[in-house]
Amino acid sequence: MKESERNHRTAEAEPKPLEEPKHETKKLKNLSEYAQTLQLGWNGLLVLKNSCFPTSMHILEGDQGVLTGLLKDHTSGSKLTQLKIAQRLRLDQPKLDEVTRRIKQGSPNGYAVLLATQATPSGPGTEGMPTVEPGLQRRLLRNLVSYLKQKQAAGVISLPVGGSKGRDSTGMLYAFPPCDFSQQYLQSALRTLGKLEEEHMVIVIVRDTA
């Protein structure tokens, strides 16, 4: 009898841990709030032509070490504060397949996927946000997203910035506007929020394999 009572009691107690997170997730209103539940990977300025876009990137999956290794100034060794988009990758299936192949090749610790959202001036993770260089115009991230959507392309940055020296690892950063490819990494956010209305990008960083 005692045994069955104990079983009954544990069966009753089991669902509770599942219920609590549900209650928590309801409070998240948008992607920026969802991003705050993830680990901050990088914050700084994305630069395109003469515009710069204050951006926060939070890790969706992959390895933090890829960011530490590739998002640094190779001359000083310090963290990069701005990333300049110099190339574009058309959102064609063969090109996307190539990115997917590179991610698989880089798994588990040679890649990272991040959610990029507008950095708010005083929000968490904006400590040390760089000052804007003369000649650059500060704009909202949604303007960059619109531009890439219109071009049907992802922004591409070769890493490390300024080229590699010696045995430094090299890699690529791809900045995807909302598209089928990027949404596959946001299924958890979609389940949590119900819809992804806010402008955002999915950033894929892959380390070159030897």
Query: What are the CA-CA distances from residue 92 to residues 180, 182, 199 (Å)?
Result: 11, 13, 21
Mean per-residue pLDDT over the chain, rounded? 85
Question: If 0-12 CB within 10 Å is exposed, 13-18 middle and 19+ buried, where does residue 205 land?
Answer: buried
d(Cα 146, Cα 177) in Å, to the nearest integer?
8
Q: Which amino acid is at 134?
A: P
Residue 156 is encoded by which pair of tokens? 């591409």
CATH number for the domain whose boundaries are 31-207: 2.40.290.10
Whole-angstrom distance, CA of residue 112 vs CA of residue 159: 13
User: Tens digit of pLDDT for each residue in 142-168?
Assistant: 999 999 999 999 999 999 887 776 666
Most trustworthy range by pLDDT among 114-123, 135-144, 188-197 = 135-144
By percentage, how much of the chain surpasses pLDDT 90?
61
Among 175, 177, 160, 192, smallest CA distance to 70 is for 160
Give the per-residue pLDDT at 72: 83
Q: What does the buried/exposed string (b/e) look like for 43-80 if buried means 16 or more CB atoms within 10 Å of the residue's CB?
A: bbbbbbeebbbbbbbbbbebbeebbebbbbebeeeeeb
- Asked which of 22-31, 128-137, 145-154 is least confident by mean pLDDT, the reply is 22-31
Predicted confidence at residue 167, as pLDDT, reads 64
pTM of the full structure: 0.82
**Nearest-angstrom CA–CA distance, 28 and 34:** 6
